[in-house]
């Protein structure tokens, strides 16, 4: 039986750090479902469809990756799809506390689901979608942080 994991996130937008975690996950799991989340309490720069499309474009040549979207709890999504592993990326120690709380909450909600933490390459460990949105607003070149198609969409949406 194939080993499948879910890599959930908002990916607003997807970065090379996210893609690095996806590649690492495909070395461990036969299939990685990148689940683009929509959280009603968050404000996004890009719509759910736009974010999922950017991830699909960025992963189109990545073997073993499937992209979908969902709303609601990731544990419900995992149970519905009979998947018991969640992938979470850790960049800095500052991520750990939040991710640890989330993993324990998910375990409480669905005891059979395990969380696996993966770290991106050191060159991507400082990247965040929030920082990318901010520096794009200030007309910085973000092409070394995101795929060209994502950089283009960011410039179109945010350049002043």
Q: If you average pLDDT over residues 139-154, what whole number do you get? A: 94
76 falls within a domain: yes
* 58 within some domain: yes
Tell me if 113 is assigned to some domain: yes
Does residue 154 lie in a domain region?
Answer: no
- Considering the entire predicted model, what is its pTM? 0.93
Residue 103 lies in a domain: yes
Question: Is 138 a domain residue?
Answer: no
Residue 124: predicted pLDDT: 85
Q: What CATH code is carried by the domain that includes residue 118?
A: 3.40.50.620
User: Does residue 159 register a pLDDT over 80?
Assistant: no
* Measured distance CA(106)–CA(135) in Å, rounded: 33
Determine, yes or no, domain membership for 24. yes
How many other C-beta atoms are found inside a 10 Å radius of the C-beta of residue 141?
Answer: 10
Answer whether residue 39 is part of any domain.
yes
Is the distance from CB of 88 to CB of 115 less than 8 angstroms?
Answer: yes
Which residues are marked as active site?
18, 42, 91, 129
Q: What long-range pairs does 105-108 form, CB within 8 A, spacing at least 24?
A: 106/74, 106/75
The confidence band for 160, taking pLDDT boundaries of 50, 70 and 90, is: low
Q: Which of 73-82, 129-138, 150-159 has the highest mean pLDDT?
A: 73-82
Q: What is the DSSP string of 72-84?
A: S-HHHHHHHTT--
Q: Which domain holds residue 23?
A: 4-123
* Percentage of residues in the chain having pLDDT higher than 90: 81
Q: Give how many domains the chain has, as a whole number.
A: 1
């Amino acid at each position: 039986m194939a080993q499948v994991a879910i890599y959930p996130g908002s990916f607003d937008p997807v970065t090379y750090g996210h893609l690095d975690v996806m590649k690492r996950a495909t070395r461990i799991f036969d299939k990685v479902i990148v689940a683009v989340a929509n959280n009603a309490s968050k404000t996004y720069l890009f719509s759910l469809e736009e974010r999922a499309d950017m991830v699909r474009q960025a992963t189109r040549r990545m073997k073993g990756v499937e992209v979908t979207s969902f709303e609601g709890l990731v544990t419900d999504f995992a149970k519905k799809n009979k998947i018991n592993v969640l992938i979470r990326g850790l960049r800095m120690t500052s991520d750990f506390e939040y991710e640890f709380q989330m993993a324990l909450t998910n375990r409480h909600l669905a005891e059979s689901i395990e969380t696996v933490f993966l770290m991106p390459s050191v060159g991507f460990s400082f990247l965040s979608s929030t920082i990318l949105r901010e520096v794009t607003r200030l007309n910085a070149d973000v092409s070394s942080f995101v795929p060209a198609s994502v950089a283009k969409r960011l410039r179109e949406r945010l350049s002043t």
